[in-house]
Structure 1
Amino acid sequence: MTLKEEFATRNFSIYGQWLGILSMVLCFALGIANIFSGVLILPFTIICLISSFVILFIEVPLLLRICPTSSSFDAAIRRVSTNYMRAGTYGVMGLVQWLSIIVKGTSLIAAAVVLTFTALCYALAGFKGQAFVGSKTLGGAGVAQMIV
């Protein structure tokens, strides 16, 4: 299935997965960009950077087989497998970045917006009863089994 065909399925979990990749890139870039924005914003910046790596493992399941990670980390990432769990995870990450506005308005707001949209896509997929469908482009639906 090509990327165009995946988007044509109108499954919100596919949209959420690709927005997750966008939020991963944004979290990493904005975390680096805001690292020297001040001492008070530093915890939010560090959380944003950590979130980018967590999102990477959530959205690209192939990496759990390739990268040497601990069994407890693998178990935690595997728990985030349903649409509702993903929506909750992205919702919490988005909320943390929204809270950074209290301290200082920075470009971390962009990460908060995209994380929130990602959470909404996964929540919509859950509410509509759509099963989670991983993008084949990102290592889902059999790609991981092909390398084993």
Structure 2
Amino acid sequence: MTLAEEFRSRNFSIYGQWTGVLCIILCFALGIANIFHFDIIILWSVLCFVSSFILIFIEIPLLLRVCPTSEKFDSFIRRFETNYMRAAIYATMSVVQWLSLIRYATSLIAAAVVLLIAAAFYALAGLKKQEFAASKTLGGQGVAQMIV
């Protein structure tokens, strides 16, 4: 299945996964960019930065096979194999970034919005009872098994 066919499949978990990839890039960049505020915003920027690394392993299953990780970390990441669990982790990360508004508005709001959109896609996939479908481009559905 090509990338265009994946998007035409109308499976919201595919949309969520690609929005998740955008979240990885955004959280990484905004986490670094906001770390230079030198006040309490540093807390949210570090959490955003750490979120990007967690999301990398959630959204790109190939990395669990390639990167040396502990069994405890692997079992934590494998919890998020269903649409509802992914919606929950994205919603939680979004709420954390929305809480950065307690201090003042920063560009972390962009990360909060995109994380919320990804959570909505995964929640819609769950509500429509769509099976989770990992994108072949990102290492899902057989690509990870070819490595081992």
Please indicate the TM-score interval, normalised by the length of the shorter structure.
Answer: over 0.9
Structure 2 counterpart of 1:103: 103
Structure 2, unaligned stretches of length 5 or more?
Answer: none
Query: Is the 8 Å Cα contact of residues 40 and 103 (structure 2) preserved in structure 1?
Result: yes
TM-score by length of 2: 0.99
**1:138 partnered with 2:138:** yes
Runs of 4+ in 1 over 2 A off after TM superposition: none
How far did 1:72 drift?
A: 0.3
Counterpart amino acid of 1:136?
K
Counterpart amino acid of 1:103?
R
Aligned partner of residue 13 in structure 1, secondary structure = helix
Count how many residue pairs are aligned between Structure 1 and Structure 2: 148
How far did 1:52 drift?
A: 0.1
Query: Is the 8 Å Cα contact of residues 14 and 133 (structure 2) preserved in structure 1?
Result: yes
Counterpart amino acid of 1:106?
T
Seq. identity, %: 65
TM-score by length of 1: 0.99
How far did 1:23 drift?
A: 0.5
How far did 1:39 drift?
A: 1.7
2:104 and 2:77 map into 1 onto residues whose CA distance is 31
Structure 2 counterpart of 1:55: 55
For the aligned residues, what is the CA RMSD? 0.5
Structure 2 counterpart of 1:129: 129
Structure 1, unaligned stretches of length 5 or more?
Answer: none
How far did 1:103 drift?
A: 1.0
Structure 2 counterparts to residues 1-148 of structure 1, below 5 A: 1-148=1-148
- Residues 4-33 of structure 1, C-alpha deviations (whole Å, 9 max, x = no match): 000000000000000000001000000011
